[in-house]
């Protein structure tokens, strides 16, 4: 009787274990020949014992960069949210679809005839997705208008953003993200405040007044009438604490500033996403025209270009290979979503997320990824619905090494410990004083409860490795970087 009971209990235990989900404490899948290696044991120790990972999921995939052989795999086939590691897919697809030399165009058009110094017609700025337009580019367009002999526009100033559809936000963008630079609206006609090229944003700066009790001084870069500032903040005495908030009201371009800033305090600064960036670009262009002494007698509006409009001038962006630097080094969400729409426009004739994501899915399949196990919802990774296994990311990183554009792709990745902002990017302050410095080249990723790092590293013995680390369900997402850095440094030390 006891023997029968014991067998039944064992069978029950086996059945229970068969249906228990893979936990953080189970042994990872590894290459059989490597199971006893020091590297595997050290990785196992980190992943199974670090309290940061208590109750979390850690997808880790490590491959030999030359052969693609999978040499370490910790739940590498489990679909996880990749955060900005999604940009690895977007950048590869864009390079393969559009090419390294691809440039965005912006056209200056007009209707009607020039009668003396008066344009008897409309002036049109037609955007074709360029996220790098600066105030100086609108100045250059205005100079072209002046060179054409035009001093008066007896018509409207039109912004044509119909190159893309009119959906400004990707499907899963949270309302709480939409006023910040990383959640800026995507338009085919937009503008950036500086050479980080955060399209569709303005920089709002708050400086202390000359003495306590005064309103702080507020500046915008670039200067624009498109944003209305409501200044409710005050300057307080020297030595008091600074507490300034700069926020845009939903559905408007009203930016409210509240709080206190001491007389001796440093400035506060925020990149604020504008509501409807087409109008923002038009406002900058209107200012540029006025600075050239050109008078506009009509209205300012967003509309498709009138039929028969003629080209007066054209501006081209930097090539994609150069745009990849601010895109990937600084993890620019707007660039990712613009590239998705541009791929849709070029390949499918429609500048939309739907068509662009179709192109992305088709492309990643050619890079050896299993399309059936992926959930792709945007190009930037800001969505919490995106799902990619770590093994699929490492597979992508292996396959793209054979592409003609791979040097541009590799150059766009942040470099650990390199303090030059446009080289080290989001890794410039990480892994210092280690063999990873100047060696680990990888894309970071971070959204709430998620952290990721995937890229390339060369060991001390000269072996090149590919790795992907995707951490989900963290209670403190920023602590995931500690795990990633441990693993990356460990690989560099081999």
* Three-point CA angle 430, 337, 315, nearest 5°: 105
Selecting among 87, 126, 443, 481, the annotated active-site residue is: 87
For 176, other C-beta atoms within 10 Å of its C-beta total 10
Selecting among 170, 331, 394, 468, the annotated active-site residue is: 331
Predicted TM-score (pTM) of the model is: 0.90
- The reported pLDDT for the residue numbered 404 is 97
Rounded to the nearest 5°, which phi and psi values hold at 64? -75, 125
Q: Please report, for the chain, the start and end positions of each structural domain, with discontinuous segments joined by +.
A: 23-100+321-492, 105-166+278-315, 201-273
- The reported pLDDT for the residue numbered 371 is 92
Active site residue 84: yes
H or E segment and range at residue 379: none
Selecting among 61, 84, 383, 451, the annotated active-site residue is: 84
Classify domain 105-166+278-315 at the CATH class level: alpha beta
- The reported pLDDT for the residue numbered 87 is 98
H or E segment and range at residue 265: none
- The reported pLDDT for the residue numbered 5 is 38
Classify domain 23-100+321-492 at the CATH class level: alpha beta
Tokens of 254: 């009203």
Which residue numbers in the chain have pLDDT < 70? 1-36
Answer for the pair 182, 87: CB distance below 8 angstroms, yes or no. Answer: no
Answer for the pair 330, 131: CB distance below 8 angstroms, yes or no. Answer: no
- Among the listed residues 190, 217, 187, the one whose alpha carbon sits nearest the alpha carbon of residue 202: 190
């Amino acid at each position: 009787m006891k023997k029968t009971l014991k067998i039944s209990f064992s069978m029950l235990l086996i059945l229970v274990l068969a249906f228990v989900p893979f936990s953080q404490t189970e042994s990872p899948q590894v290459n059989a020949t490597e199971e006893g290696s020091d590297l595997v044991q050290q990785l196992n120790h980190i992943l199974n014992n670090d309290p940061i990972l208590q109750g979390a999921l850690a997808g880790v995939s490590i491959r030999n960069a030359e052969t693609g052989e999978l040499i370490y795999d910790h739940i590498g086939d489990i679909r996880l949210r990749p955060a900005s590691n999604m940009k690895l897919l977007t950048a590869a697809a864009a390079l393969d679809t559009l090419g390294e030399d691809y440039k965005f165009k912006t056209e200056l058009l007009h209707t009607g005839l020039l009668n003396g110094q008066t344009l008897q017609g409309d002036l049109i700025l037609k955007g074709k997705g360029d996220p790098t337009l600066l105030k100086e580019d609108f100045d250059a367009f205005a100079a072209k208008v002046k060179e054409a002999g035009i001093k008066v526009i007896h018509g409207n100033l039109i912004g044509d953003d119909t190159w893309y559809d009119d959906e400004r936000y990707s499907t899963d963008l949270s309302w709480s993200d939409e006023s910040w630079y990383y959640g800026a609206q995507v338009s085919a006609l937009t503008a950036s405040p500086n050479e980080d090229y955060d399209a569709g944003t303005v920089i709002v700066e708050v400086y202390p007044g000359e003495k306590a009790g005064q309103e702080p001084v507020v500046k915008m870069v670039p200067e624009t009438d498109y944003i209305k500032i409501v200044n409710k903040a005050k300057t307080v005495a020297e030595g008091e604490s600074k507490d300034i908030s700069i926020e845009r009201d939903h559905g408007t371009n009203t930016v409210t500033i509240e709080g206190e800033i001491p007389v001796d305090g440093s400035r506060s600064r925020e990149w604020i996403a504008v509501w409807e960036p087409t109008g923002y670009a038009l406002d900058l262009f209107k200012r540029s025209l006025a600075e050239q002494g050109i008078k506009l007698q009509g209205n300012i509006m967003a509309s498709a270009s009138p039929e028969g409009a003629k080209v007066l001038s054209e501006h081209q962006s930097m090539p994609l290979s150069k745009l990849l630097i601010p895109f990937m080094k600084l993890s620019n969400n707007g660039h990712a979503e613009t590239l998705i729409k541009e791929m849709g426009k070029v390949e499918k004739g429609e500048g939309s997320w739907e068509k662009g994501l179709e192109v992305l899915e088709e492309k990643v399949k050619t890079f050896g990824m299993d399309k059936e196990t992926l959930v792709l919802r945007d190009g930037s990774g800001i969505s919490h619905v995106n799902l990619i296994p770590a093994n699929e990311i490492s597979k992508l990183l292996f396959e793209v090494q054979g592409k003609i554009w791979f040097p541009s792709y590799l150059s766009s990745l942040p470099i650990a410990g390199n303090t030059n902002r446009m080289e080290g990017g989001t890794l410039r302050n990480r892994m210092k004083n280690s063999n990873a410095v100047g060696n680990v080249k990888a894309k970071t990723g971070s959204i709430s409860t998620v952290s990721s790092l995937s890229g390339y590293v060369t060991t001390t013995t000269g072996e090149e490795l590919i790795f992907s680390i995707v951490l989900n369900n963290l209670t403190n997402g920023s602590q995931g970087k500690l795990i990633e850095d441990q693993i990356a440094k460990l690989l560099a030390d081999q």
